[in-house]
Structure 1
Amino acid sequence: MKDKRPKYKKIIEAAVMVIAEKGYHAAQVSKIAKQAGVADGTIYLYFKNKDDILISLFREKMGMHIEKIRKCLEGKKTASEKLYTLVENHFSQLNKDRQYAIVTQLELRQTNRELRQRINLVLKEYLNLIDEIVEYGVRTGEFREDLDFRLARQMIFGTIDEIATTWVMNDQKYDLVSLVSSVHELLIDGFRKRDALSSDHP
């Protein structure tokens, strides 16, 4: 498959570096090509335009991220453990790949409506993963049976996304992963049954 070719991946990684450094609007295709060590024309063998590069890098990275989370979720017995794993992996991914963090938390937001819709389509699979965890918690009786799934999803993604954005805006001066336990505790306390013991945290 074309998207598995070495040059494709080199261009993706180069795009992350250039967009993080220059900003999306100033990240010219020629600069991405130079960073990747390929001719300008080579870019267009894999991508239609710069918008396509942005969507592709997000799809590539997000796909790998979701796959890793799903593997980590295997064997987790409780919704609390699953949610902790999700938050931990989300923060760890950004903490390890700080240029990608800049792209996702800042540059993906500075796009036109059409591009935003394409980005949301990529994000949908991740939101579905969050839904699965929430639904599991309700089904097993760990979360309140009257829990609004859509609101719970917005709370989870909105919280971790805003914290990650604040971290980027603060020039990534602290360890994002150190916040996992506190974030998990705040979220889980909002979802669990009222009679659940606070000592249930993983």
Structure 2
Amino acid sequence: MKTIELINPELIEILDRWMDFYDKNCPPSLPMDERRFGDRDMDYYCSEEYLREVQAKGEDHKGPPEYAKVCDFHLTHGVPKEVRRESMKTCAELSAWLCAKFNAVHVYYPAGGFMSWHNNWDCPGYNILLSYSNACGFFKHLDEDGDVVTINDPIGWSCKIGYYGGKDETPYWHTAGSRGPRQTFGFVIPDESLWEEMIEDISC
């Protein structure tokens, strides 16, 4: 996973419109599916100890995170209708700008929110992640040498790009969490050449 330092102002404009709407219209707390919280906290589910535990499951790990403390703006029950509509509108606008095959996720992390270690091998592809944070969030992944690499969020919007392999490839293990409010939009790009073009556009 790599980070793009400078993001195209056109893309920032779309993202900032969402944040303006969010700040004015979202309730102080958003609903979350407590059945996915597990019985431990962010520090455990984002730890190397848990990584080894889920890796040991082999193909019994389905791909998505088995535990999460987030609000999915599209899927979580109880998200206000106008907020869900605006999120879907923003995702459609971002998907068109990025030429994305589909919007994989738009989630909110509260303080202590997380997505446990997982590999998305059920949905391989070239990915673009756009996150907003007050420098309180992080993204961890396992590199080619088997070492855990941590990418800490800067203040404001940040962009990460990478490829998630399928079951017949090297799995891409990753996790994310935050000690304060954080949001992430995730997109899948259909092919490598288009993905590379989008990286150039994002970096302008």
Instruction: State the TM bucket, normalised to the shorter chain.
Output: under 0.3
**Higher strand content, 1 or 2:** 2
**TM (normalized to structure 1)?**
0.26
**Higher helix content, 1 or 2:** 1
Which structure has the larger Rg?
Answer: 1
> Higher relative contact order by CA 8 Å / sep ≥ 6: 1 or 2?
2
